Structure 1
Amino acid sequence: MSLKKKLGLGVASAALGLSLIGGGTYAFFSDSAYATGTFAAGTLDLSVDPTTIIDVENIKPGDTMLRSFDLVNGGSLDIASITLDTDYTVTDAGNDNGEDFGEHIKVNFLMNVDKLDVPIYSTTLAELKSMSPDVIEGNIFSDWLAERGGKLAAGTEDKLYVQYEFVDNDEDQNEFQGDSLELTWTFNAEQGDGVAK
């Protein structure tokens, strides 16, 4: 055998040996396991029923109007905090003296119909309009929610009672004759603190 053939055979044998050694390092048992996970966020869904909470005509100083409406949690998460934004527009019938009709409409928030003489909080529409949400939440909804275990549970509803009063200030209030006030309340819900799951 020639030297060239011997060298070629030696190189081929070496390559075969190396491939067997290299291939042998991958000869072992193996297994795989897979795990998956999902994250689905809950929902907050606060609504008011009925959406028109008051609609009265021909009121005069001294009149009171009791109304109730349901705050409904249609979401999947408990509501731990509720705030209220108040806005209104006054349509003046032409007797304008510069006074805001909202300053003469008193609002009494009541815990329930059995406690009509003990409001949770009393204020005027004008004051409500200028209050910060945390003051409103602390004075109105914290006590209301406390009676419900500190939350409005998911899938539940509960009543809020409100008494409105056109305050009779024992003075001439003729400037309000024919005036109207259109009220908008926006209820804002917030979740509670996160918990370990």
Structure 2
Amino acid sequence: MGIKKTLGFGVAAAALGLSLIGGGTFAYFSDSVQTTGTFAAGTLDLDASPTAIIDVSNLKPGDGATRTFKLLNKGTLDISKVKLVTTYDVVNQSGAPANTDDFGKHILVKFLTNVDKTDEVIYQTTLYDLQQKTPDAVENSFYLPFVDERAGLKAGDSDNLIVRFEFVDNGEDQNQFQGDALSLKWTFNAVQGNGSEK
């Protein structure tokens, strides 16, 4: 191999070596940071006290009873609406022939604003009609007596539900209801408010 070729290879090798050294020593600034986040869902927790709505016996047409119980928001989220679902069963305990009418049609329910002023009725209907309504229909039928529609039921707050039940005396023969027992169940469904920016 000639001197020119040897020198050429040497120069090329030196240039390659310098470029590798230069490339290997090239550096840049860098930094990193980590972020974390949590998502914790709130709770809706509606409680009623007492849980027994009413327990009366020996009713006759014309009798009535007023009851008050407290609805409490024990959750961490505000409740915007409370929807009421009504169900009941009627059992004849006297062994008399089956009724031709529904006992629930003769039990009038009055939602009151104040237990001391029973004439302040917000809404009234029979148990039969109340059972036929969907929760939305109930909500649209009357101003919710137990939750202020504008403020709802805020977390930690409570409100009273005041109800008067009357066995309506319709002036007609109601003998078929002797011995009847009506078992009532009310379910209160709490609904959250609209979402908001956090």
With structure 1 as the length reference, what TM-score do the two structures score? Answer: 0.87
- Deviation, structure 1 residue 132: 1.8
Matched, 1:136 2:138: yes
Tell me, in whole angstroms, the C-alpha distance in 2 between the residues paired with 1:178 and 1:17.
109
- 8 Å CA contact 2:45–2:74 kept in 1: the answer is yes
Q: CA RMSD in A?
A: 2.3
Q: What's 2:163 paired with?
A: 162
Identical counterparts, % of pairs:
51
Q: What's 1:118 paired with?
A: 120
- SS at structure 1 position matched to 2:188: strand
Give the helix-richer structure, 1 or 2.
1
- 8 Å CA contact 2:111–2:121 kept in 1: the answer is yes
1:9-29 CA-to-partner distances (Å, cap 9, x unmatched) read 66764553333233233x122
- 8 Å CA contact 2:72–2:157 kept in 1: the answer is yes
- Deviation, structure 1 residue 78: 0.5
Q: What's 1:152 paired with?
A: 153
Matched, 1:101 2:92: no
Residue identity matched to 1:31: D
Q: Which runs of 5+ in 2 are unaligned?
A: none
Q: In the comparison of the two structures, how many residue pairs are matched?
A: 195
Residue identity matched to 2:111: F
1:61-117 CA-to-partner distances (Å, cap 9, x unmatched) read 100110011111110001001101111110023242321111111100112224320
- SS at structure 1 position matched to 2:147: helix
- 8 Å CA contact 1:83–1:133 kept in 2: the answer is yes
Q: Which runs of 5+ in 1 are unaligned?
A: none
> Which of 92-101 and 51-60 deviates more?
92-101
With structure 2 as the length reference, what TM-score do the two structures score? Answer: 0.87
- Deviation, structure 1 residue 191: 0.7
Tell me, in whole angstroms, the C-alpha distance in 2 between the residues paired with 1:12 and 1:166.
111
- SS at structure 1 position matched to 2:108: strand
Q: What's 2:192 paired with?
A: 191
